[in-house]
Structure 1
Amino acid sequence: MKYKDYEAAFSQARLSRYLNACAGDKNKALILYRYNLKLCQKFYGVLGLFEVVFRNAVNEHYKRHFGDEDWIRTQIHAGGMLESSPQVSDVTRYISKLSDAGKYTHDRLVSSVSFGFWTYLFNKQPFRKGGQSLLAIFPHKTKGLGQRAIYNELMEIKSFRNRIAHHEPICFDMDGNKDVEFAQSNYNQILKYVGFLGYNKNELFYGLDVLPDRTIQKIRDL
């Protein structure tokens, strides 16, 4: 395929960012586009594993804290931790969908609600209503790192995750130059929180081709 064929397939507007970042070199632009796709693919694995261990830690914590195996459904009701949460409508929708299909269980609800639901639990109001105990899921967190800082950093990871989910590039800086610092810093942030949760990153990701170091370096070298 010629470059104009790729423009027709992917759109001129989408490819133009890569072309500009590569000083008009069409071959490099296409290579960078593919490297960005590969980098996003790598992060799907990293983010997927992180999301699972993160939400499971929160879920187990609140099951113990509330003494309730179905705490999410309980806490969206009046007087609950989540009664005025912007997450209520989504949680209610998932509960109805699962119940209507005769498939409702708490575990299925846990896997259905979004990553945004879990990060929201570190916001000031739900954190306080939840007994200000949620930081206990991070036994190895940096000393002195509090609720607000953790919430902000989790929101950065969420924003990064959403960029990938919406097929947005992660290989540019704010000015459109080729740059992997954004991806690298988020990668480091994810690994930091994996460590905070008490996992060894090499063991957690063992045997899985998910770590994006080589692709990051290829983009740097392009």
Structure 2
Amino acid sequence: MSIYPPVRDEMIRLLSVPRLSTYTRACDGDVKRALELYQWNLEVSGTLFSSIHYFEVALRNTLDTQLTKTFASADTAWYDQASIPLNDGGKKAVRRAKGEVARAGHEVTPGRVVAELSLGFWWSLLADGYNRSLWEPALKDGFRNARRATLHEQIDHIRRLRNRIAHHEPLIHHDLPAEYTRILQTAERVTSRLAWWIDATSSLSGILDRRPPMTARSEGTAGVG
């Protein structure tokens, strides 16, 4: 990528030297290569975010379906049932989600509330404390050959990667093939077709092949969080 010097200098000012420092260190102070690496990081973040999007939506809909089957009634959503064993954090998240829907001027419907709840909320429903109250009676039937503790751990990795991408953080020292494999393997626990779709729609392989070179010392830190 050829960058006209005045544009390059303006982008350095706008992005800030501290933000670019991770990239310039990885390129031995070569600002031109650092900006190329920054652009590459945006591309790889975008394609991983798309994969995580499919996984997150499928996960929440799977959990919602199982909770609806077990706890909902004809006129009351599962999260409003007195019998639903949500902890204080879970109840607070539901109240916040309802509030966000109402503040947006929408009717507070189950579909809108479910969509407003974060990946962190859905991940929390697979924690140890919900093993007997949610996993055994409801959630385990939504997954293929999955152990709750392993599922909880793997989704935590995906959740933290998602948050890193959302905050525009560098991924240049992450083991990205391993991160992507984790997404696919966890998606398999929902359904093999979800994993197939994620892989079929991903451009990660080509982007990884176009990775700008870094210094040998920086390459050696790949896989570090």
Question: In which range does the TM-score fall when normalised by the shorter chain?
Answer: 0.7 to 0.9
Q: Does 1:147 align with 2:148?
A: yes
Between 1 and 2, higher relative CO (CA 8 Å, sep ≥ 6) is seen in 2
- What's the TM-score once normalised by structure 1's chain length? 0.82
Q: Does 1:165 align with 2:166?
A: yes
Q: Does 1:106 align with 2:110?
A: yes
Name structure 2 gaps, 5 residues minimum.
Answer: 215-225
Question: How is 1:90-129 mapped onto 2 (pairs within 5 angstroms)?
Answer: 90-99=93-102, 101=105, 103-129=107-133
- TM-superposition CA deviations, 1:92-142 (whole Å, max 9, x none): 02223435645111111111111111100001112322152423222144x
Paired AA for residue 198 in structure 1:
T
CA shift, 1:190, in A, is: 0.7
Q: Does 1:39 align with 2:44?
A: yes
Name structure 1 gaps, 5 residues minimum.
Answer: 173-179
The correspondence for 1:219, drawn from 211, 217, 225, is: 211
The correspondence for 2:89, drawn from 82, 86, 90, is: 86
The correspondence for 1:199, drawn from 177, 192, 196, is: 192
Paired AA for residue 80 in structure 1:
I
What is the DSSP-based 3-state SS (H/G/I as helix, E as strand, rest coil) of the residue aligned with 2:169? coil
Q: How many residues align?
A: 205
Paired AA for residue 106 in structure 1:
P
Task: Give the structure with the higher percent helix.
Answer: 2
- 1:140–1:198: 8 Å Cα contact kept in structure 2? no
User: What corresponds to 1:8 in structure 2?
Assistant: 13
User: What corresponds to 2:217 in structure 1?
Assistant: none
- TM-superposition CA deviations, 1:148-204 (whole Å, max 9, x none): 2221111111111100111111112xxxxxxx41x2222111101111111335752
Q: Distance in 2 between matches of 1:162 and 1:102?
A: 27
- 2:68–2:78: 8 Å Cα contact kept in structure 1? yes
What is the DSSP-based 3-state SS (H/G/I as helix, E as strand, rest coil) of the residue aligned with 2:154? helix
CA-based RMSD of the aligned residues comes to 2.3
